[in-house]
């Protein structure tokens, strides 16, 4: 057997092992119920582009919300409401998720999916450009957790608003900050990668943020990543 064949066989086994591990982790730690599964089926049927978080990412969002005792959560980018279901399920009685979505069809679908999950009373989807909607949220701040998962070119502006709308101890989470390594190139090849790159620089350099990031597989971008930042006081 040639060295090329040996390498191919090794890569195949590694891929199979990774798929097995991913499956077992999801089934054990983030099993989906009917509401979550149906939200994905509706999204697919409505032609919503693939891009929802994975079950394990959704469960991570839920755990993070519980960890910081979130009562108010802001989501920038609803899509079909899959991540919103995970987030809203972490809220206590009287808690509130506000999710911003620019696409009318996606917003309508997100509302329907959140309602099926029994979360209509604690989750609100607002339609419009996030940069136009965010200033109105100042009176409803602070938010305990802010999840950024919208157009990546505006990530730096979303981070600036997240800081204005947060408190000491708030969590700011962002998806798609790797983009298959494009965000780390000296000259990012497109606006999305450039926005992710700028976001990464900002969370690393900002004196009020303590941040970490880790990779994950993404259906659109190959290898991508999540970042998690904790907001500190200005004098921290």
Look up tokens 């919103």; give the residue.
84
**φ, ψ for residue 119 (rounded to 5)?**
-115, 10
Separation CA 90–CA 71 (nearest Å): 9
Decide if 170 contacts 145 (C-beta within 8 A).
yes
- Tokens matching residue 184: 């780390």
* Cross-strand bridge partners of residue 145: 73, 171
State which residues of the chain have pLDDT below 50: 1, 236
Using an 8 Å Cβ cutoff, are 117 and 89 in contact? Answer: yes
- Predicted confidence at residue 218, as pLDDT, reads 72
Q: Which of 187, 177, 168, 175 is nearest to 230 (CA)?
A: 168
Q: What is the pLDDT of residue 140?
A: 97
CA-CA-CA-CA dihedral for 17, 18, 19, 25, to nearest 10: 110
What is the C-alpha separation between 7 and 13, in angstroms, rounded? 10
Q: Cα separation of 147 and 83, whole Å?
A: 9
Q: pTM for this one?
A: 0.93
Q: What pLDDT score does 180 carry?
A: 87
Domains and CATH numbers, the chain: 32-231 (3.40.50.150)
Report the percent of the chain where pLDDT is more than 70. Answer: 95
User: Which backbone phi and psi does 157 adopt, to 5 degrees?
Assistant: -70, -35
In sequence order, the β-bridge partners of residue 230 are: 171, 210
């Amino acid at each position: 057997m040639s060295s090329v064949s040996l390498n191919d066989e090794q890569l195949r086994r590694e891929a199979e092992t990774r798929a097995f591990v991913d499956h077992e982790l999801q089934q054990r730690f983030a099993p989906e119920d009917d509401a979550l599964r149906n939200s994905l089926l509706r999204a697919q049927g409505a032609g919503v582009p693939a891009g929802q978080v994975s079950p394990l990412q959704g469960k991570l969002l839920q755990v993070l919300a519980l960890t910081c005792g979130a009562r108010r959560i802001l989501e920038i980018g609803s899509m079909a409401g899959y991540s919103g279901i995970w987030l809203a399920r972490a809220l206590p009685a009287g808690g509130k998720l506000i999710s911003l979505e620019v696409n009318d069809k996606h917003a309508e679908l997100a509302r329907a999916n959140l309602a099926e999950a029994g979360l209509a009373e604690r989750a609100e989807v607002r339609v419009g450009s996030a940069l136009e909607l965010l200033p109105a949220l100042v009176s409803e701040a602070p938010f305990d957790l802010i999840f950024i998962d919208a157009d990546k070119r505006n990530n730096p502006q979303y981070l600036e608003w997240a800081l204005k709308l947060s408190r000491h101890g708030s969590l700011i989470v962002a998806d798609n900050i790797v983009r298959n390594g494009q965000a780390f190139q000296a000259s990012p090849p497109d606006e999305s990668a450039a926005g992710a790159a700028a976001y990464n620089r900002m969370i690393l350099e900002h004196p009020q943020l303590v941040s970490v990031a880790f990779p994950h597989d993404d259906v659109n971008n190959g290898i991508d990543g999540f970042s998690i930042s904790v907001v500190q006081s200005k004098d921290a």
